[in-house]
């Protein structure tokens, strides 16, 4: 019998990943209630004053927030200051993983393969050597592939669209495009879940649209990756989870080249929790359904606080 903890789910927020966050929050709410928890949901865009009043009546907070204000350490620092237990990595780990440039240096310093990268702005992007070959351009802080450009053929680059995006950011991260199989490994507690192999629609990318339109195949267990490489990727994801200070959950994206090299792309500290999301799918493959998943996360948060 689950102890009757009261849980406050935070969902929505004001980032450009708001809609996905609302869906994650609803999936979490349903799973918590299926366990018998007493659950309320709050949208942080409605302000901190109301949130202050809610915290006193709950045992633990479950942030299901994606993007700015959710994964960047802001809400975590606020909850830490209030002394309230919460699900997922703390403010320092969240801040590190959200800043893709700082994160890249962290990964490189630990001797993991990582795509070559540089910080660029609209005045110097086309002077950078990385823009002469296949490349990826993405926000330094952000997720869900919003404002991410994957350019396989530089001569066919939509320069205007890229420069328009660069107008919205002080800097963006330019990286070499690593060709291979896209994979992701989620960590739950201190355990690496089964790898997920990501197969976008033919001749398309795993972009924002294809993440959520149901057209991308997410194979768990993978069909095109050997057991040894799967285990290596799981070990890498677990080591990164620990070295960045993550707790509770994370999800690390890795490209595996045809030569069997593993390139680390990024680590998400609050992965999607919708019915289409990769962490719940990996957990399901490990025999952990959504109610059990949220129960593990709640218990982990309470144990960390005790």
Predicted pLDDT of residue 1: 44
Beta strand pairing status for 6-10 and 117-120?
unpaired
Annotated catalytic residue: which of 212, 250, 277, 300?
A: 212
Sequence-ordered alpha helix ranges (H) in 110-197: 159-166
Is 129 annotated in the active site? no
Is 212 annotated in the active site? yes
Predicted pLDDT of residue 214: 58
Nearest C-alpha neighbor of 237 from the set 62, 138, 97:
97
The domain defined by 6-88+291-305 folds into: Rossmann fold (3.40.50)
Mean pLDDT of the chain: 92
The domain defined by 96-113+178-286 folds into: D-amino Acid Aminotransferase; Chain A, domain 1 (3.30.470)
The CATH class given to the 117-176 domain equals: alpha beta
Is 268 annotated in the active site? yes
Q: Does residue 291 surpass a pLDDT of 80?
A: yes
Residue by residue, DSSP assigns 37-97 as: -EEEEE-GGG-HHHHHHHHTT-SEEEE---STTTTSSHHHHHHHHHT--BSS--HHHHHHH
Q: Does residue 112 surpass a pLDDT of 90?
A: yes
Listed by start position, the domains of the chain span 6-88+291-305, 96-113+178-286, 117-176
Lowest mean pLDDT among 46-50, 125-129, 134-138, 254-258: 46-50
Annotated catalytic residue: which of 5, 12, 17, 131?
A: 17
Annotated catalytic residue: which of 13, 67, 73, 272?
A: 272
Residues in the chain: 306
Express each pLDDT in 163-218 by its tens digit: 999 999 989 999 999 999 999 999 999 999 999 999 987 666 555 554 555 578 89
Is 251 annotated in the active site? yes
Is 17 annotated in the active site? yes
Is 253 annotated in the active site? yes
Average pLDDT over residues 28-47: 95
Q: Does residue 43 surpass a pLDDT of 80?
A: yes
Is 49 annotated in the active site? no
Predicted pLDDT of residue 158: 86
């Amino acid at each position: 019998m689950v102890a009757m903890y009261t849980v406050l789910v935070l969902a929505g927020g004001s980032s450009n990943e708001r809609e996905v966050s609302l869906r994650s929050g609803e999936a979490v709410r349903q799973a918590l209630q299926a366990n018998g928890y007493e659950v309320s949901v709050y949208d942080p865009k409605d302000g901190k004053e109301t949130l202050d009043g809610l915290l006193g009546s709950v045992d633990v907070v479950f942030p299901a927030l994606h993007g700015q204000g959710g994964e960047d350490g802001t809400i975590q620092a606020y909850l830490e200051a209030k002394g309230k237990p919460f699900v997922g990595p703390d403010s320092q780990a969240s801040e590190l993983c959200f800043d893709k440039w700082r994160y890249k240096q962290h990964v490189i310093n630990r001797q993991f393969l990582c795509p070559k990268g540089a910080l660029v702005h609209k005045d110097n992007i086309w002077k950078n050597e990385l823009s002469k070959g296949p490349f990826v351009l993405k926000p330094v802080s952000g997720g869900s592939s919003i404002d991410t450009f994957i350019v396989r053929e530089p001569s066919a680059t939509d320069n205007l669209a890229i420069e328009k995006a660069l107008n919205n950011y002080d800097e963006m991260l330019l990286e070499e495009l690593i060709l291979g199989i896209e994979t992701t490994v989620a960590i739950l507690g201190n355990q690496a879940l089964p790898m997920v192999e990501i197969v976008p629609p033919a001749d398309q990318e795993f972009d924002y649209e294809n993440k959520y339109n149901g057209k991308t195949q997410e194979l768990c267990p993978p069909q095109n990756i050997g057991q040894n490489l799967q285990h290596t990727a799981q070990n890498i994801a677990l080591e990164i989870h620990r070295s960045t200070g993550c707790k509770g959950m994370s999800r690390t994206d890795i490209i595996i080249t045809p030569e069997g090299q593993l390139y680390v792309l990024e680590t998400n500290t609050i992965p999607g929790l919708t019915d289409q999301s990769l962490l719940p799918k990996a957990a399901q493959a490990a025999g952990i359904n959504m109610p059990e998943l949220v129960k593990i996360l709640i218990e982990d948060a309470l144990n960390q606080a005790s």
